[in-house]
Structure 1
Amino acid sequence: MISEQSVFIVDDDASFRNAVQRVFRSAGFRVETFESAAAFLSGYQPCDEACLILDLRMPEVGGLELLERLRQRQIDLPVIIYTGNADVPVTVRAMQTGAFAVVEKPFSDELLIERVRDAITSSRMRRARNATIAEARAKLAGLTEREREIARCLAEGFSAPQIGAQLGISARTVEAHRANLFRKLDVTSIATVAQLVLWADLGDG
């Protein structure tokens, strides 16, 4: 996996492609260019810190179609589309398909660089959030069904006697389950259990 920040440029216009490449290389990015959607799909190597910049209108496969193919292949990469005519229907469709932004030509180099940096930052934060959700759900999945019930009750602020009354078991049994789930989750406080439950629930949103 490539760790440095990368920019992928897809455009059938070689002169424009090269111009954008110079802009981003001078700004410190690693840059790869592709003359078509097909070339990108066959040559793309996944990386964590990256952004795809692509032209809306290209022969054979246009920007929106490429964006849809990326989503179908579950390629998690922020995308900025640029066009000479960013009308409302095109912009709406691009955003609904998953584009981070739509930029209308002519645009300044500074604006494009800023959009790319924003896209990479947003993608990084989203990946971190998803990783936290996945970790919380995996930890809770390691509990028994009863332990998960008690974990949720603890997260809602119920005491052992209240949980026991709700579940039809004794407070002592609740405390035994609580000790077990604390051990399995490797936590020492109800607050941490509540955080795990919250993150796991976010995964359903």
Structure 2
Amino acid sequence: MAEWKPTIYVVDDDPSVRDGLDSLLRSVGYDVGSFASPRDFLAHRRSFGPACLVLDVRMPDASGLDFQDDLAKSGNPLPIIFLTGHGDVPMSVRAMKAGAVEFLLKPFREQDLLDAIRQALEKDRIRLRQEEADADLQARFSTLTAREREVMALVAQGRLNKQVAAELGLSEITVKVHRGQAMRKMHASSLADLIRMADGLGLSELPSDRGSVPPSRRP
């Protein structure tokens, strides 16, 4: 992710605003995608890396606030900075409650916009780092056998080795072996580290019955 260049997407129906923002943002080193409408933006293939959306509130064929809602419903987490020449308090409150990074009135200070963009990009970087960490955790978890997953889940729920052994019908030594294998494959440096990973995978929240994790046919 460190090699990905940030991209700023501008959606505004006013060509002069788009051109001005494009020039400003490129002058400070950002890649820029400019669009006259949300529809045009959605038709564009997004680049990889941190990004944010600079969005006009009022456009002829769409409301920026409604588009913010649509993006949220579609699971698109792109941070948004709103621009408007006709803002009011209820409008700004709605935008900020829905997760907007900033709500700027036109004409705005260029530095205020650049500060908001830096904040939005850092928010997106944090999201991308978390997604990478989650994907890595899932990849390691996928290398565990079904029995190792059972043991890991039960340990994460607070079971002692002897309790896990009794629940799974194994010897305590066998449970220790499976737990050790799970720790090795998950790259866990300690039992607490393994439990933290299990929490991240949602294993500690599963029902405590044995059927909560895939059963293994092998001891």
Task: Please state which band the TM-score falls in when normalised by the shorter chain.
Answer: 0.7 to 0.9
Whether the 8 Å contact between 1:37 and 1:61 is mirrored in structure 2 is: yes
Q: Is contact 2:137-2:186 (8 Å) kept?
A: no
| Preserved contact between residue 132 and residue 199 of structure 1 (Cα < 8 Å) | no
Alignment match, 2:210: none
**Residue 59 (structure 2) aligns with:** 58
Residue range with higher mean Cα deviation, 164-173 or 31-40: 164-173
Matches within 5 A, 1:36-55: 36-55=37-56
Query: Which deviates further from its counterpart, 33-42 or 156-165?
Result: 156-165
Distance 1:201 1:88 in 2: 40
Residue 141 to residue 89, structure 1, CA distance change in 2 (3 Å): farther
The alignment's TM-score, normalised by the length of structure 2, stands at: 0.74
Query: Which residue pairs with 1:25 in the alignment?
Result: 26
Cα distance in 1 for partners of 2:67, 2:197 equals: 37
Query: CA shift at 1:32, angstroms?
Result: 2.6
SS in structure 2 at match of 1:43:
coil
Opposite residue 51 of structure 1, the aligned amino acid is: C
The 1:184/1:3 distance shift into structure 2, 3 A limit, reads closer
Alignment TM-score, normalising by the size of structure 1: 0.79
Instruction: Kindly provide the CA deviation profile for residues 11-59 of structure 1, in whole angstroms up to 9, marking residues without a partner as x.
Output: 1122222222222122221223222222222234333122210110000
The answer to whether 1:82 aligns with 2:103 is no
RMSD, matched Cα: 3.1
Deviation at 1:140, TM superposition (A): 3.0
**Structure 1 unmatched runs, 5+:** none
Distance 1:136 1:3, change over 3 A: closer
Number of equivalences: 203
Which consecutive unaligned segments of at least 5 residues does structure 2 have?
206-219
CA distance in 2, matches of 1:45, 1:130: 17
Query: How far did residue 78 of structure 1 move?
Result: 2.0
